[in-house]
Structure 1
């Protein structure tokens, strides 16, 4: 049920349906089944609530990204940055001119210009040029914040965490907190890898993607760097949590990770080329898909 609700929510996000507070009818059925089978507890309830929050965040963030003209916002940011650089250069020149003039007057033994004496009773000294304030950078302002995107990213793999909890309940064992914590960090890294691989598909479908969200928040010059920092932090956390596992579990995890990176380049993080004009890209890809279907349908069998 949870995977189907997740797909339904992605479809809602793709249509731009915000629907704050929406609950899927299947959620009540899932809760009833879990209660009837004696599997319901506070941890499972909390994980399902995390899923509901993720679905609402996904709809809200994706609706904002669909409305946000990333290409225009990025052009505005670049123009602002160029203007700021020119202003900074002019400020430096303005600050250097009085200093250069003072040095020249000292060499020639000339007094300072009238009105520049700090204290007429003392030896004449020239006041330094006042520092000019530098304009603050203009944010892209896509209609959501990094805490919104981060909360969605951290909650995205709730369905896996729910399955881990249910496996413990079905096996009749206590929750293995060390293993659950390690898996949560590992799953977030897997989610980032999927987001990088599926980036263009997520643009077309208007689905949540943490790399896409960072592009809307900060533009292409900064998004990859910020996501790389997030990856490094999660990798460090995963390595730390791995040391807390029993030796046999560590061996199994390491063996699984080594098997997962056997393919050439599979252990590398590859950042796809940013799509700035998302609307045009989405329309072009959908048109291409329709043309492909038409050719396949009208061609020889």
Structure 2
């Protein structure tokens, strides 16, 4: 195909969804290094890829609302002007037959839609990457990676030092008991017992609370005699920096677990109803444990092996 000058990647969804598309972003940037690559999505999450793209635009901008209707856009419409400036669009949103898909293809004929992975088959990141084949891209590295700057790592270290002192001498373990839905959360009493075991081994523990995690964090704290510090209310890049400065992350099937794997921090990831063959975090320091086999003793032992191995 003709070398594109401007490429738009459209990706909405949550943190984990975005991280799993990072290999696609890397493949596009590597294949066409001189092209201007932009993202249309959630800026608070897409900030994780800001070093690889020229610009990030919010899909929630009101100018894009008519894309989701069957009313054709006028050429002077702000959304039409924006989208028609691209030679290639790679979209994780919509299908060709939807209102959004038809509008998009009228404005940018070279549009590739990446569908959701079929259940029970290959890993989602591999599926997404192989979906680029029609563009002539044969990339094979499907492991998401986030290279954080020294500045972001320092911001993360400072964030950790609010609840924990001497981070550099004794980095803490981060425990994230939340996720995108309660069925994906390991029992709070089991998280609490795991925290006790880490503390007995003299490992400081910090609970991480995301926007939707107030209840699971409160429930874990309710099972602990000494409640301990909670990290919350921070931008995603600072959270990534804090995770990169920690010794270990223990969490559910969630975006935070994918973030830990992507920045290279050892991770014990607990899986309940979702299929780890498709949705597990990828990386050399990742151990997946299902709810059926998980015990506080086993999780803490696995975590210590990852930290010391």
TM-score normalised by L of structure 2: 0.19
More strand per residue: 1 or 2? 2
Greater relative contact order (CA < 8 Å, ≥ 6 in sequence):
1
TM-score normalised by L of structure 1: 0.19
